Structures are given as structure tokens and as C-alpha cells.
């Protein structure tokens, strides 16, 4: 299993990763956001950030969706199970 790494070391080449969002006021509060990559949301050229797919299938920015949280750490996706 991979360990959490500082977000400053995360790949920004479109690689899909998991990120940890920490509370801006209380850093003991946080949560994991899965399947995130660095890029630009469709239709919002010029504004790069951590992108994810919303429940409705649209793209959104992690940091803009969770104003009370900041992205602090990342880890590679786990390997799929052997079949």
C-alpha cells in the first residue's frame, strides 16, 4: 500500500491519483477524493487545477468544490486485483 505524499510532489501530466483534502480551519478534519488528475475542466480554458468527475458525470475542480478544504497530499492509485 502506498503512503500519502506531499501534494507538491504530485504528477501534473494527467496521471490519475487520489488526493487528501484537509480542513482549512481544522487540519484534523479531512477526506479522500479518488480518481483526480491535474488539468483543465472542459469549457474553462486557462484555469488548471485538480479535476474530478462529479456524480452527474461532469468535470469539476476539487479546490473550487470544497472551499473549506485544501488539497494537501496525494497517493498513486492502487493496483487492480489480479484476475
What is the structure's pLDDT at 2? 67
What is the structure's pLDDT at 1? 55
- In percent, the amount of the chain with pLDDT more than 70 equals 94
Residues whose CB is less than 8 angstroms from the CB of residue 46 and which lie 6 or more positions away in sequence, other chains included: 40
The cell numbers describing 73, all together, are: 497530499
Average pLDDT over residues 10-22: 95
Average pLDDT over residues 35-39: 93
> Which helix (H) or strand (E) covers residue 81, if one does?
none
pTM, full prediction: 0.83
Amino acid at each position: 500500500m502506498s503512503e500519502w505524499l506531499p501534494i507538491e510532489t504530485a504528477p501534473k501530466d494527467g496521471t490519475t491519483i487520489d488526493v487528501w483534502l484537509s480542513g482549512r480551519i481544522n487540519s484534523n478534519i479531512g477526506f479522500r477524493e479518488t480518481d483526480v488528475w491535474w488539468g483543465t475542466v472542459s469549457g474553462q480554458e486557462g484555469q488548471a487545477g485538480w479535476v474530478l468527475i462529479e456524480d452527474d458525470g461532469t468535470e469539476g475542480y476539487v479546490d473550487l468544490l470544497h472551499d473549506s478544504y485544501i488539497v494537501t497530499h496525494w497517493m498513486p492509485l492502487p493496483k487492480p486485483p489480479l484476475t
